[in-house]
Structure formats: C-alpha cells, structure tokens
C-alpha cells in the first residue's frame, strides 16, 4: 500500500505536471517527482488525467531549439500629410466624428454610417512619396486595403468599405469597443492560460487571413484588439508592406546597417496607446492619448542567427515589411513576407505576452526563459521562432491546434490511481490513455461519403468515363475547391463550437444558428457531389464553376445576418415538411450551380407548389429565386416574374438578403434578356435599398455593379458603363483576389466596353487577362476559355487583323466540338460563332461564305428567340450588308423591311435597344447604292434620332458616319460638316484625345473635304485612310471608294497624275466584276480615266 502524503509536503503544481505529462521534465523535477508521486495520490491522479488527454506527443524541444535574436534596426518618422477633417465633415456617405488617434502615415476617426445607422472607425492613409510618385503608392495602398478586406472572421476586425479621396485612402472598419492586447496585458497580471487563450483567438483570425491568401506583414500586440467581452480581434491586415516602405531617397539597407530615422510602421494608435508605437487599431477611447514608453520597443543593434550581414553580392534591402522586433530573419535579409513570417511575428508576440519582453538568444542552446509556462507550450513557441522558415510549423492552423492541446487539456473524469504505475518512467513510457471525446473535436465521419478520399477517387473515374477532353484538369480544379470547402466547413464547425463550449464568447442560441447554417451547407455539398457523379461531358466542363458556386461558408459566421428575424414555421407538422423541402431545394441549387439550368427549373417546380401550400414565405422566396436565376441563364423571359415573386415572398418572410438577391438578378434580366434598361435602373436602386437594410453583402454588391455595367454596355452607353465595371472588378478582386476565375465575366464585359469605345488594344489585353485566369483555374478545354478566344477574335477583327480573328473563331468552334461533342453544343453560342465567322469572311471579301454562315446563324436564332430579339435583328441587318456587297440591293431592302417589323414587335413588347437604329442605317446605305440621296438622308437621320432617343453613344457613331456620307453625296455640305465634327468629338471622348480615328471615319472626312474643295485636308485624310486600309486583308472592293476619292484629290491638287490614274484604275477593276447597282458608277470612273 502506498503511504499517504504528509500535509507539509508541497504538491506538484500544474506546470510541473504538464511537463511530466509531456515527457520533458527538467532533471531536478524528474528526481523530485519520482519520490513525490509514490506518496501523493492527488498528484498521481492529476498526472494521470493529463497523460490521458495527450493525443499528440509534445514537440521535441531539443529539435526545436534555436538561437534567435530579434531587435529593431531602424525607426522612421513621416510628416503627416493627411488633410484635417472637422467633425461633421462628409467623406463619401460617412459623417466624420471625433478623432481617435494619429501617426506618421494615418489618422483614425470615429464616423457615422447613415445608410446602416451605425458608428464605424474611419482610417485615413496616405502612401509615402516614392520615385514613382504618390499616385502609384496610393493605388498600391488601395489594392492592399482591398485585399485585406477579403478576410471575414470572428477574430478579425471587419473592413466594411475601402475607397479614396484625392491621394488619400480611407478604410471604413468595425469600431471595436476596447484596447489593444498589449494594453490589456499591461493593465493587470494575467494567468499564462489567459494570455494563450487571447493569442489562440488572434491566431485563428490570422489563419483565416492566410486561407484567404492574405499575409498580415505586421502582426504584433498593437495590431490585436481586445473587446469588452474579452475577444481578441486582429486588425490592419495586409497594410504593413506599404506602410513600411522607404522614402524614394532612402539609403539602401543591409541587416545591421543604420539609416535615417524612421518610425515603426502603423500610425494611428488605439486611443489607449501611444501614437508612436501602435499600428492603428480602431477602438472606442477609454482615455486620452498620451505618449508613453512600452517595453521592448527601443531600437537596438541586431545580433544573432538570421540577422547577420548578408554575404557579399547579396541584394540589399530597401523596404522591410513589419515592425522592428517582430520581423522574421528572412524578411530582414530581403525575402518577401509570407504566412511563415507572420507565424514568426505571432510567436514573438505570444512570447512577449507570456514573459513581458521579446525573446533573446543569450544562450547558444536556444530560448532559456520559460518562467512558469509549460515546457510543451514553450517548445511550440521556440519552433515558431526558428530562423529558417522551413523549420517552423507547417501552418498557423497546425501551430494553433498543437498550442490548444498543450495549454488546455480537458480533465474530465478522474482516473483510478490503480491504473497508474508506481513510477514516473512507467507512467511516461508504458501507459497509453484513451482521449475523452470533445464536442468540438474534428469528426471525419461528418463528411464521410460526401467528400472524402474514396469519393474523390470515384469522382475522377466518373469524369474520365465521360470522355471529356478536360476530365483530369476539371477534376483537379473541382477537387481543389471542394477540398478547401470541406476543410473550411470543418474549421467553421469547430470555431462555432469552441466559441460556445470552450471560450464562452457565444451563446447556445447563436451556436444553434451557426450549426443550422452549416448543416444546410453540408446538404448542399452532398447534393452537388451527387450531381457531379452524374455529369456528362458538359457537366464535367462546368464542374469547377459548380464547386465555386457553393454557398459561402462565411455567412455561417455572420451572426448579425443569421440573427435576422426570419420566422420558423409555427406548427411542428409544417416544420417537418419545410425541412424536407429545403433538402430538395439544396439539390435544385446544386443543379443551378452546375449550369444544369433546365434541371434546376424542373426540380424546383414542385418545391414552389409545396411552399405555396404550406404558406411558408422564406421557403417560397428561396425556391422562386432558384427558378428565376435558372430561367435568366436560359435567356427565358419568364425569369422576370419568377424573380419578382421571389422578392415579394422573401420580403413577406422577412428575408431581406434573399429579396435583395432576387432584385439583383432582375437587373441582369432587364439588361441582358429583355432589353428594358429603365427597369434595370429602377431595380438597381431597389436592390441597393434592400442591401442596405439587410446589412450589406459585398458579393451581391459586386454582382449588382457588374449587371449595371453590362446593361449600360448593352445600351451602347460605354462611357457610363466603364467606371461601373471598374468598380465591380475592384470589388471582386477585393473579395476573391486578382487571379480568381470569378473575375472573368466582369473582365469580358469590360473588354467589350473598351472595344466599343475604340480602345481595341486595351480590350485585347483585358481579354488575355481573363483567358489567363480561366486557363489557370480550369485548364484549356473549358467553355469559358473558348468564349474568351471567341471574344479575342472579335477584337482582332476590330483591329483589322481579319485572318487572325477568323482563325480565333474557328479555334473556338473546334474547342466547342471537343468539349461538348458534335451533337451537344450550346446552340446560342454556336449561332454567335457562325455569325462572327460570317463577319470576318465579309471583311475579307468572301461574300458567299459570309452569306452562308449568317444564314446558318439566323436559322438557330429564329428557333431560340422570339420575334423582336436583338439577335434576330442584328443578324438580319448584317446579312443585308452582305447582300448589298453582292449587288443584291433589292433583296437587302426586303430583308430590312422584315427587320423593321422585328423592331416594331420589340417596341410593342416594351423592349429598348440601340440596335433598333440598324435597319434604318442599312436602308440609308441601300438608297445610296441606288443613287437616291434624299431618301438615304431621311433614313440616316431616322437612324440617328433612334439612337439619340436611347442615348446609345457608341452605336451613335456609326449612324453619324452614315449620315455625314449621305449628306455629302446629297450636296448638303454644311450640315455634313457639322455631323462630322460631332462624330470626331464623340470618337475622342470615347477613345481618348490621342487615339486616331478608324479608317472608315478618315475616309468619310476625305470625301467631305474633297466635296467642300478643301484639297489639302482631303489629301491628308485620304492618305491616312488608304494607308490604314492597305495594312488590312480587306478585299479590293472595300478599298475602291477611298482609292477613287484620293485619285480625284490628287488630280484636283495637280499632284502625282500617274498615281491618281493607277488608283482610279484599281477602283474600276474592283467594281467591274460586280453587278449593278455597283458601289461606284462605272461611268464616273471611265470619265475620270479618259481625262488627262
């Protein structure tokens, strides 16, 4: 029998017991424990408890040892150049309130956001002057802030908005009621576990940023806030690199070298801290700002491994990300900051929080000071401080999980002493204890048979079995997304559980809300994987996008949104049916995300009826929303009433965010499907009001901007569309990163707008960027990649590179055949490709091919779209031009009359589109061919009037050009001159003052100048136009008119008579094979050639 412990003998304390449990006691502790445990039952039981819950062995402290010295090589002060803002000043929609803090680069104010009726923090930043000027610095700083705003997490200070005024960047942030973690720890002595608990929370926020692709670059105690509930919140993500960049004239630095004074990065302090030291967390003030010293912040020479001077020839560092004392050694020697350097700064900060000072390397064997901190916790910090990035923990998540296990073992039921051996060595080496289940532990069975290793392998086989050419690339892209989603789901579930059961920062009611949301996400993931397993070739191609279309997990952490008053069903029997209906709805949503739009419509129809029968409005609103979205992508005009009903049902069910989403999609339908721009504008205003009422949603706001821009572009209002699309793109980059395939739609719409404005080279670069991100994400054989090649072809044709454009269209057609097979290609896209091939063939003078391909396109368009569709009108007017170039003017006029009837049908249906002017414009050209100038002028004026009515400025240009030509040939020269001037002004407005007019416009100017007797002007315009035409693959017939204009100009100027004769002869040879009515009259050409 083991004798009992005398009362006078001290028990082993908790830290000593943890060291024993981890198998890493000091020699003196080992010797004392061996004797003590034999006689102390309570210590044996406590040690047994700790041993029992150790699931992962403690890190090898000896392997983790490293000599680390961290210090601050420089400081800097930057004269504040932020404009002073008086209280009450309006900055955008924000009302500036009291000033909270200031520093070298920034100022922080409290502010009021009237649209959401809340106080926020408003941080104003100005980039330091550099050799590239302030504008470049401001743009970089704005990009950093936008990237930082992508991180959404309970332990990250939320960024609501980012913008600029002048060269100042403003960041609208959540206003946290509290101070920094440094202030929190200095205010009172805290147990080591409390310190670790705070840093675990901050670390989870940092890990969330890394998962979103954001590196903090300046993690430190002053960039972590602690709110009134004791929750840690990380702030100032991604801003350190710019805030710490050198002045343009700064001396290049190597480690250990001195430089001109500079302050630590970060500027506006927490109201409770020092403006010289804090990085600018936003906090509600508790006391006035006053400078004070903080331990560990004085500059000192750098010593120790990783901070030695670089070898000869190594690059010198001119800009360092971070605050001295927290900067990883590799960053000091010039390497870029990354997640591993953030981990280093985190470990410095945690060490400082535990010991009151930053770590030093006074002993060659590593960090000796561990005070009363368990050796296992100390060892984890030591590893994170390794001078070699590769020797640190694999990720923040790995470090945090290990730290949580080391610091917070769960001591549930006491174990019987009889189960523990008498000696310490027997305990440490021979006994393995089962770990008690934690309600927050990861449970791999939760996603078993949904997305696990077996399902992944099976999905690859299923994709390959379809014979899709991109099966492997599509699988890899899909698997990457689903892996991340599954991991994020587990992280969110654990975080929600810990917040309630471990950290005590969240109520059980909130946990229920978050758990319910995550369960819906799990069902949606289940439904999607089932859909993917049944995918055909088309489904394989769209699988990566389907995975990305899964509902975001971030909404399950948005407690404010989850807490909106969406009422549950009142009767239990209704609740059961509603739950079953939602499960079916998840299947319909998965089909919507997989581009199986008709399937989604079919699946959701009975759910709509069920929701109507039950009278449960939130379910009805969501079901109708899925129906409306699917019909919108099918270009089905019945999408509009479905979305309207979805909005009304959601409002009735008090689901404001779902109502806002329905109205956002109505903007798409109005602009793209039904051509009702005024409705699109009204719905956009309605969507903004609903988004504001629901608390805002950046994803929906970016979609709304993109759809608004697209609507404006469809209306040929390109100068208005471009800034809206730029806003949409900036917001999407902020949400998803610059390389996300989610940017492709906005990029392609922007390219179309740039092309309409005469900026074809810019458009080509934009399309190439879209293609690059899509190929990187989905591989080359993806439908959206094919679409970018098609759009590239259209831009190449616009640049007069006809053969390249034609080949791009053929390549797109080949890819469609490869992706979809010969019998399953999407007919709308195929029709568009045939129309594009027709346009390229027309430009190259292959009129028979152009006619054949356009007729093929029109057959498909007539099958797919009702009378009055813009596709039917555009293809018909284009065909009329092909007919006219074959001298079939009468046939063209018959077709144009049909197009007028199409326009009348569209107007009667409430549609509005600048393409309505095209039939009149083409009729004007037909009357010119017939020599009836007055009728030509009347039709051209009608065309201009239609476009003016619809405010379609890019479409207006072509109508003005045709009007100027008809007026010139009708001898109405003064009016022709006025129209030409308006056209040139419009061109420069859209394309830029330095952009040369297109060759057709120069040809128009040459003909007008010649008719007005302005020979020098006519020659200038004519030579430029002919030069441009000659650099294209245009056929001789297309160049006949400009050649004859220049020939007459040269003769009138008494210059180059032989060249004038050669030009006229070439024009005659071009028109001679054509039938009457010819483009040029043979009688006029022959008369010119007879003269000497």
Distance CA 731, CA 144 (A): 12
Residue 30, classed as helix, strand or coil, is helix
Q: What is the mean pLDDT of residues 597-603?
A: 94
Per-residue pLDDT tens for 683-711?
Answer: 999 999 988 887 778 899 999 999 999 99
In three-state secondary structure terms, 319 is coil
In whole angstroms, what is the distance from residue 212 CA to residue 146 CA?
A: 12
| Closest residue by Cα to residue 714 from 601, 843, 905, 874 | 874
Q: How many CB atoms lie within 10 A of CB 327?
A: 29
> According to the model, what pLDDT value does residue 558 have?
76
Average of per-residue pLDDT across 997-1012: 96
Segment among 69-78, 107-116, 157-166, 352-361 with least mean pLDDT: 69-78
For residue 1037, what pLDDT band results from cuts at 50, 70 and 90?
very high
Q: What is the pLDDT of residue 565?
A: 58
Highest mean pLDDT, choosing among 236-250, 356-370, 432-446, 688-702: 688-702
Convert the pLDDT of each residue in 428-456 to its tens digit: 333 333 334 466 877 777 888 899 989 99
**pLDDT average, residue stretch 386-395:** 92
pLDDT at 341 over 90: yes
Model confidence at 888, pLDDT cuts 50, 70, 90, reads very high
Distance CA 958, CA 410 (A): 76
Whole-model pTM: value is 0.60
Residues 488-512 have a mean pLDDT of 82
Among left, alpha and beta (phi > 0; psi -120 to 50; other), residue 845 is left
Contacts of 818 (CB under 8 A, 6+ apart): 469, 781
Residue 711: the pLDDT is 94
Using omega within 30 degrees of 0 as the cis cutoff, is the peptide bond preceding 195 cis?
A: no
C-alpha span between 512 and 831 (Å, rounded): 51
pLDDT band at 147 (very low <50, low <70, confident <90, very high): low
Same fold, 571-696 and 711-810: yes
* Cα–Cα distance, 950 to 253 (Å, whole number): 60
Quick one: three-class SS letters along 358-397?
CCCCCCCCCCCCCCCCCHHHHHHHHHHCCCCHHHCCCCHH
Mean pLDDT value across residues 757-770: 96
Q: Can you tell me the mean pLDDT for 389-413?
A: 80
Higher pLDDT, 405 or 241: 405
| Residue 68 pLDDT level (bands cut at 50, 70, 90) | very low
Measure the CA–CA gap between 543 and 77, rounded to whole angstroms.
52
Which tokens belong to 1080? 């040029």
Tell me the range of 155-159, 315-319, 628-632 where mean pLDDT is highest.
Answer: 628-632
Q: Is 753 within 8 Å of 795 (Cβ atoms)?
A: no
Does the pLDDT at position 1039 exceed 70?
yes
Q: Of 192, 190, 138, whose CA–CA distance to 14 is shortest?
A: 192
Q: In what order do the strands lie in the sheet with 168-174?
A: 90-91, 94-102, 106-113, 118-125, 168-174, 159-165
Mean pLDDT over the full length of the chain: 81
pLDDT at 844: 95
Question: Cis bond leading into 1077, ω under 30°?
Answer: yes
Window from 249-263, 335-349, 792-806 with minimum mean pLDDT: 249-263
| 103 membership: H or E segment, kind and range | none
Phi, psi of 163 (to 5 degrees): -165, -175
pLDDT at residue 167 in the model? 76
The residue behind tokens 């403003």 is 170
Of 326-335, 945-954, 977-986, the range with the highest mean pLDDT is: 977-986
Tell me the three state secondary structure of residue 76: strand
Helix 953-969 vs helix 718-736: angle between axes, to the nearest 10 degrees? 150
Which pLDDT belongs to residue 606? 96
- Residue 186 confidence (pLDDT) above 70: yes
> Which of 407, 366, 421, 304 shows the shortest CA–CA distance to 60?
366
What would the pLDDT profile of 6-29 be if each residue is shown by its tens digit? 343 577 877 777 777 666 667 777
Assign 3-class secondary structure to 865-921. CCCCCHHHHHHHHHHHHHHHHCCCHHHHHHHHHHHHHHHHHHHHCCCCCHHHHHHHH
Percent of the chain with pLDDT over 70: 80
Rounded Cα distance between 924 and 899, Å, is 14
Q: For the chain, give every domain's residue range.
A: 1-54+409-436, 90-355, 450-551, 571-696, 711-810, 1015-1092
- CA dist 991 and 757 (Å) reads 5
What pLDDT score was predicted for residue 566? 66
pLDDT in tens, 939-960: 999 999 999 998 888 899 999 9
HEC sequence for 275-309: CCCCCCCCECCCCCCCCCCCCCCCCCCCCCCCCCC
Question: Among 3.30.200.20, 3.40.50.2300, 3.90.700.10, 3.40.50.300, what is the CATH number of 90-355?
Answer: 3.30.200.20
What value does the mean pLDDT take over residues 662-684? Answer: 93
Counted residue by residue, the chain has a size of: 1092
Sign of CA dihedral 906, 907, 912, 917: positive
DSSP 84: P
Predicted local distance difference test score (pLDDT) of residue 824: 75
C-alpha to C-alpha distance for 523 and 525, rounded to whole angstroms: 5
CA 985 – CA 995 distance, rounded (Å): 12
Instruction: Give 154-192 as a DSSP string.
Output: TTBPPEEEEEEETTEEEEEEE-BSEEEHHHHHHHS---H
- pLDDT tier for residue 921 given thresholds of 50, 70 and 90: very high
How far is the C-alpha of 1081 from the C-alpha of 929, rounded, in Å? 9
Across the strands, what pairs with 174? Answer: 120
Domain covering 711-810: architecture: Alpha Horseshoe (1.25)
The CA-CA-CA angle for residues 242, 246, 249, to 5°, reads: 145
Query: Residue 700 has which token pair?
Result: 């929906």
What is the mean predicted confidence (pLDDT) over 68-93? 54
Contact 291, 274 (CB under 8 A): yes
Average of pLDDT values for 281-297? 29
Question: Structure tokens of 674?
Answer: 């039904």
CA distance 879 to 882: 5
CATH 1.10.645.10 fits 571-696, yes or no: no
**CA-to-CA distance for 342 and 330, rounded, in angstroms?**
12
Question: Residue 379: is it exposed, middle or buried by C-beta count within 10 angstroms (0-12/13-18/19+)?
Answer: buried
Q: Which residues contact 933 (CB under 8 A, 6 or more apart)?
A: 927, 966, 969, 970, 971
The answer to whether 150 and 212 have CB atoms below 8 angstroms apart is: yes
Q: What share of the chain is helix, strand, coil (3-state, %, to 5)?
A: 60, 5, 35
116 versus 178: the higher-pLDDT residue is 178
Distance CA 869, CA 857 (A): 14
* 1036 phi/psi in degrees, rounded to 5: -55, -35
Query: Binning pLDDT at 50, 70 and 90, where does residue 106 land?
Result: confident
What is the per-residue pLDDT for 120? 87
Backbone φ/ψ region at 737: left (φ over 0), alpha (ψ -120 to 50), beta: left
Higher pLDDT, 890 or 165: 890
What are φ and ψ of residue 110, in 5° steps? -75, 150
């Amino acid at each position: 029998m083991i004798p009992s412990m005398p009362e006078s003998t001290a028990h082993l304390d908790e830290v000593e017991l943890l060291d024993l449990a981890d198998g890493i006691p000091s020699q003196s502790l080992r010797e004392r424990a061996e004797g003590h445990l034999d006689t102390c039952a309570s210590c044996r039981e406590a040690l047994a408890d700790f041993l029992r819950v150790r699931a992962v062995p403690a890190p090898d402290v000896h392997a983790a040892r490293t000599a680390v010295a961290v210090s601050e090589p420089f400081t800097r002060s930057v004269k504040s150049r932020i404009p002073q803002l008086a209280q009450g000043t309006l900055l955008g929609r924000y009302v500036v309130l009291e000033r909270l803090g200031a520093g070298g680069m920034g100022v922080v104010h409290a502010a009021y956001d009237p649209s959401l009726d809340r106080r926020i923090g408003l941080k104003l930043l100005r980039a330091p002057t550099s050799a590239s000027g302030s504008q470049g610095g401001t743009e970089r700083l704005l990009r950093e802030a936008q990237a930082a705003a992508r991180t959404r997490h309970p332990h990250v200070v939320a960024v609501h908005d980012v913008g600029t005024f002048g060269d100042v960047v403003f960041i609208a942030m959540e206003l946290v009621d509290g101070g920094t973690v440094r202030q929190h720890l200095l205010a009172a002595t805290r147990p080591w576990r409390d310190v670790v608990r705070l840093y675990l929370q901050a670390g989870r926020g940092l890990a969330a940023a890394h998962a979103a692709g954001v590196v903090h670059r300046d993690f430190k105690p002053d960039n972590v806030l602690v709110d009134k509930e004791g929750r840690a919140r990380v702030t100032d993500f991604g801003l350190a690199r710019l805030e710490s960049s050198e002045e343009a004239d700064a001396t290049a630095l190597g480690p250990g070298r001195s430089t001109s004074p500079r302050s630590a990065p970060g500027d506006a302090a927490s109201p409770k801290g020092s403006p010289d030291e804090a990085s600018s967390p936003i906090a509600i003030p508790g006391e006035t700002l006053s400078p004070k010293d903080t331990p560990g912040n004085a500059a000192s020479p750098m010593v120790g491994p990783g901070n030695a001077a670089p070898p000869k020839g190594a690059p010198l560092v001119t800009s360092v990300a971070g605050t001295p004392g927290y900067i990883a050694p590799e960053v000091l020697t010039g390497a870029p900051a990354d997640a591993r350097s953030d981990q280093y700064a985190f470990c410095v900060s945690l060490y400082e929080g535990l010991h009151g000072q930053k770590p030093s390397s006074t002993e060659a064997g590593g960090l000796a000071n561990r005070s009363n901190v368990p050796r296992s916790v100390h060892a984890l910090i030591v590893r994170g401080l390794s001078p070699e990035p590769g020797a640190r923990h694999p990720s923040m998540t790995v470090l945090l999980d290990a730290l949580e296990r080391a610091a917070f073992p769960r001591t549930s039921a006491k174990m019987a002493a009889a189960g523990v051996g008498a000696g310490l060595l027997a305990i440490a080496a021979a006994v393995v204890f089962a770990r008690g289940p934690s309600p927050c532990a990861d449970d791999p069975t939760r996603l078993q048979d949904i997305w696990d290793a077996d399902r992944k392998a099976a999905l690859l086989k299923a994709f390959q079995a379809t014979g899709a050419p991109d099966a492997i690339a599509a699988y890899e892209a899909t698997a990457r997304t689903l892996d991340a989603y599954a991991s994020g789901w587990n992280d969110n579930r654990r975080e929600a559980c810990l917040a309630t059961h471990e950290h005590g920062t969240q109520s059980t009611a909130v946990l229920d809300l978050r758990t319910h949301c995550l369960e819906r996400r799990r069902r949606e993931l289940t439904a999607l994987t089932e859909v993917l397993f049944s995918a055909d070739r088309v489904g394989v191609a769209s699988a990566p996008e389907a995975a990305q279309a899964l509902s975001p997990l971030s909404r399950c952490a948005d407690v404010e949104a989850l807490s909106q008053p969406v009422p549950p069903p009142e009767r239990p029997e209704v609740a059961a049916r509603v739950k079953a209906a939602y499960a079916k709805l998840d299947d319909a949503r998965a089909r919507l995300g997989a581009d199986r739009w008709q399937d989604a419509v079919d699946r959701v129809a009975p759910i709509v009826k069920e929701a109507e029968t039950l009278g449960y409005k939130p379910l009805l609103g969501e079901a109708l929303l899925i129906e409306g979205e699917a019909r919108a992508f099918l270009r089905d005009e019945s999408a509009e009433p479905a979305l309207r009903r979805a909005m009304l049902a959601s409002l009735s069910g008090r689901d404001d965010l779902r109502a806002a989403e329905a109205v956002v999609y109505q903007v798409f339908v109005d602009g793209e499907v039904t051509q009702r721009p005024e409705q699109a504008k009204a719905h956009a205003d309605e969507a903004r009001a609903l988004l504001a009422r629901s608390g805002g949603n950046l994803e929906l706001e970016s979609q709304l901007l993109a759809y608004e821009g697209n609507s404006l572009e469809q209306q040929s209002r390109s100068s208005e569309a471009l800034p809206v699309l730029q806003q949409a793109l900036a917001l999407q980059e902020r949400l998803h990163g610059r390389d996300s395939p989610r940017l492709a739609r906005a990029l392609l719409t922007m390219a179309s707008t740039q092309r309409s404005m005469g900026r074809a080279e810019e458009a080509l670069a934009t399309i190439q960027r879209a293609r690059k991100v899509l190929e990187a994400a989905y591989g080359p054989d993806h439908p959206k990649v094919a679409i970018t090649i098609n759009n590239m072809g259209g831009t190449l044709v616009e640049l007069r590179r006809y053969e390249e454009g034609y080949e791009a269209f053929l390549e797109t057609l080949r890819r469609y055949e490869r992706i979809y097979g010969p019998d399953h290609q999407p007919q709308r896209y195929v029709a568009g490709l045939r129309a594009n091939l027709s346009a390229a063939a027309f430009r190259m003078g292959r009129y028979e091919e152009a006619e054949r391909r356009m007729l093929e396109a029109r057959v498909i368009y007539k099958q797919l779209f009702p009378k009055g569709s813009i596709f039917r009108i555009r293809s018909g007017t284009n065909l009329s031009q092909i007919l006219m170039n074959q001298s079939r003017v009468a046939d063209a006029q018959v077709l144009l009359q049909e197009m007028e009837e199409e326009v009348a049908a569209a107007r009667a249906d409430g549609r509005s589109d600048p393409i309505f002017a095209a039939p009149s414009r083409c009729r004007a050209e037909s009357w010119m061919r017939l020599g009836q100038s007055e009728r030509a002028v009347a039709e051209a004026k009608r065309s201009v009037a239609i476009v003016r009515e619809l405010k379609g400025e890019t479409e207006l240009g072509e109508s003005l050009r045709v009007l100027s030509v008809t007026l010139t040939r009708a001898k109405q020269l003064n009016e022709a001159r006025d129209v030409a001037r308006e056209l040139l002004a419009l061109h420069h407005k859209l394309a830029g003052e330095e952009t040369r007019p297109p060759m057709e416009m120069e040809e128009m100017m040459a003909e007008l100048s010649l008719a007005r007797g302005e020979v020098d002007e006519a020659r200038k315009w004519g030579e430029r136009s002919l030069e441009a035409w000659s650099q294209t693959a245009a056929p001789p017939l297309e160049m006949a008119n400009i050649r004859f204009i220049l020939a007459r100009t040269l003769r009138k100027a008494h210059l180059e008579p032989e060249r004038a004769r050669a030009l006229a002869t070439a024009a005659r040879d071009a028109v001679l094979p054509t039938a009457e009515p010819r483009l040029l009259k043979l009688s006029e050409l022959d008369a010119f050639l007879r003269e000497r």
